[in-house]
Amino acid sequence: MNITEFAEKIGAVAIQFARGDEELTCVTGIEDGVEHAVTFIGNALYERYLTTTKASAVIVSEHLQVPYVLGNGPAVIRAKSPYEAFSRALEIFSPRREQPERGVHPSAVVETAAVLHESAHIGANAFIGARAKIGANTVIRPGAYVGPDAIIGADCEIHPNVVIYDRMKLGDRVVIGAGTVIGYDGFGFVPMGDGSYRKIPQIGIVVIEDDVEIGANTTVDRATVSETRIRKGVKLDNLIQIAHNVDVGENTVMAAQAGISGSTTLGRSNIIAGQAGLTGHITTTDQVIVGAQSGVSKSITKPGLYMGYPARPSRETLKLEGALRSLPELIERVKKLEEQLAANN
């Protein structure tokens, strides 16, 4: 594809340092770029590769200073959002996935009175429970389990070995990664007088709204009596735990190994970084960012970045960390002062 045509397709705002006849055929990382490849810079750490990459073109922000002239480096394609532009490039050049044939595989198990849209595809060894409903153009990959009375909307993709328990509700264009479990019992037990624990029945459901993507080996627990809800546009990484009765706000994103305890409500457009944890029965407002490995123990009522354990506004956390680093020196100074006072007495 010619660079000019490519730039138009990804919504670029300008092309610089290009001859105009560059042909682009693939995408690569900037470190190992090859001829006819397009790459991008979305982080300042990678700017050093601008003069060494072998890629023919690089997508950058509107304001990045380029340290060369025509002929000494790759063509520059400027975009308002390099990440978004590069994602479009990946769509253009990514190999097309083979689409499964429509219909039910002979080895799939479909229980009585399940409702399958004629365009749905049910893969080998999948199980569809009684009275389950599967929407148009939805693909259920081999080995998946869909329980009785579950509802899955249109244009969904359920990857191999996913488990969706009874009565769960999924909207349209939902993607569930391999090995993920939707709707297993929430972690609820009552301590008994003899030291044992009695299980609290978990009879609620999980509701996953439209345009949600959930990664591999993630778990979303069913509610105790009502619903656990993952709202529209949420993106969950692999290896995440969402406990019972949690409500995850629209367009929230969450990185791997994060955990949300029971009955916690997240606002819209939150960002939960890797290995962060939130305790139960709290809330966050909209536009909250929780830093990696942070622990949120209280409700957050103001937008912003929160870090540390317990999580605090980032400036406060950085000040505390700075004070902690200077603590050994302060201890030594106190010891010397105490020695001087003792000597004077």
Q: How far is CA 317 from the centre of its chain?
A: 25
Say which of 36, 105, 159, 244 is annotated catalytic.
Answer: 244
Quote the CA–CA distance of 33 and 13 in Å, as a whole number.
23
Please provide the distance, in angstroms rounded to a whole number, between the alpha carbons at the two ends of the chain: 86
Closest CA to 242 of 299, 269, 227: 227
Angle, CA 49 vertex, CA 46 and CA 53 arms, to 5°: 135
Q: State how far the alpha carbon of 308 is from the alpha carbons of 243, 293, 302, in Å.
A: 22, 7, 17
Q: How far is CA 167 from the centre of its chain?
A: 25
Q: State how far the alpha carbon of 13 is from the alpha carbons of 8, 17, 165, 177, in Å.
A: 8, 14, 47, 35
Question: CB neighbours of 58 closer than 8 A, spacing ≥ 6?
Answer: 30, 33, 38, 39, 40, 41, 50, 74, 75, 76, 77
| DSSP-derived secondary structure for 137-163 | T-EE-TT-EE-TT-EE-TT-EE-TT-E
Angle, CA 153 vertex, CA 151 and CA 158 arms, to 5°: 85
Q: Which two tokens stand for residue 135?
A: 């929407």
Quote the CA–CA distance of 183 and 203 in Å, as a whole number.
10
Tell the residue number behind the tokens 């009275």, with chain if given: 131
Q: How far is CA 340 from the centre of its chain?
A: 57
Question: CB neighbours of 8 closer than 8 A, spacing ≥ 6?
Answer: none
Tell me whether residue 63 is one of the annotated catalytic residues: no
Catalytically annotated residues: 244
